Amino acid sequence: MASEVETGMYARYKAWHGLGTVVAEAKNSKEAIHLAGIDWKVLQQPIFLADGREIPDRLANVRDSDGAIVGVVSDHYKYDNPEQAFEFTDALLENDEVEVLYDACGSLFKGRRIWLCAHLPQRLILGDKIDNHVVFATSYDGSLANTVVMTPNRVDCNNMLTMAINGAKRKWTYKHIGDIANKKHEAAQTLKLACKYMDVLNVEAENLQQKRVTKEMLEEIIQQVFPIDEEKDSDRIKRNVSELRNTFIDIYSGAPDLQRFTGTAWGVYNAFGDFATHIQPQRASATFAETLFSSFIDGNKLLLTAQKAIEKVTA
């Protein structure tokens, strides 16, 4: 477990980022929060200078369980405690058409962010089994609003497919809903958007499979994703970037689960997914796993860059 990851629960298996421990499935969000150890509350307290003067318009978000400061925000900042933030998601479990299970929950960056993951039924995309997850996340330091994110991943290699697709949202925000009717409406809207994303992802995958990528095109894509400035970059930077390029090529040409997609834009994108999910930096920090997981919530920059490069080169 990464040193900065305080708590986490996982059902059935560990996720690709390796955070948390395997436990039984949670029956509702309150149970998931308890199992993950984030059943605490956040209290707002004034902030004072060393000379005793109060800092105006700023408050400290303080966790009641241990007094840890999980954020410094303006006095207008609104937030939900863990139980309230994820309470509406329980209506997901009442859906008769789509089976939804909670399988993960935890806190990141010393409590500054919390998240809950719901597992949707598997789908097949181009013959690949795709596990579908909906992640609900929020923050206490102002870095993230109440947010829902689609994070499908390929079962064979457990890498994420966080594609930005026209016509389907991958990420959207939600408000704390008080009454039961609105909670059910918000849950229904969540499932609708999640299913729409997967429908469009399936179409996009088929389109990318039809796009051929030659050796020359692949080299151009790699150069755009891992650029080298021959005049300005130092020898050390050039060596590091060349190593990244070679590592990607090894994944693209050597991963058994990608062989049937070799020579296609879909194969190239999935290779970048493998790279982004599993390759650690040369100087991995103590929070690397947290940062990686958080990047998929915010939008992984490497995959966004790769997607744009693929679209540009294969247009």
pTM assigned to the model: 0.85
152 contacts 161 by C-beta, under 8 angstroms: yes
pLDDT, residue 25, reads: 66
The one-letter code for the residue type at 31 is E
> Which three-class secondary structure state does DSSP give residue 122?
strand
Torsion angle (degrees, nearest 10) of CA 138, 143, 145, 148? -60
> Which of 163, 257, 249 minimizes the C-alpha distance to 213?
249
What pLDDT is recorded for position 15? 55
| 275 within 8 A of 226, measured Cβ to Cβ | no
- Report in angstroms the alpha-carbon separations of 44 from 33, 37, 67, 81, 179: 21, 21, 11, 12, 25
Query: Amino acid identity, residue 151?
Result: T
Amino acid of residue 28 = N
Please report, for the chain, the start and end positions of each structural domain, with discontinuous segments joined by +. Answer: 8-206, 210-314
Q: Of the given ranges (10-14, 77-81, 232-236), which has the lowest mean pLDDT? A: 10-14
Cα separation, 92 vs 42, in Å, equals 26
Per-residue model confidence as pLDDT tens digits over 75-114: 998 899 999 999 899 999 888 888 888 888 888 899 999 9
Q: Is the pLDDT of residue 66 over 50?
A: yes
Q: What is the mean pLDDT of residues 123-143?
A: 91
* Mean pLDDT, range 45-71, rounded to an integer: 96
DSSP state of 156: T
Determine what percent of the chain is predicted with pLDDT higher than 70.
89
Among 7, 174, 24, which Cα is nearest to 89's?
174
List the single range of 41-55, 205-219, 253-267 with lowest mean pLDDT.
Answer: 253-267
Q: What is the pLDDT of residue 1?
A: 32
Q: Across residues 15-41, what is the average pLDDT?
A: 73
Q: What is the mean pLDDT of residues 210-236?
A: 96
Is 60 exceeded by the pLDDT of residue 31? yes
Rounded (5°) CA angle 75-79-85: 175
Which residues neighbour 156 within 8 Å (Cβ) at sequence distance 6 or greater? 128, 129, 257
Instruction: Determine the pLDDT at residue 286.
Output: 62
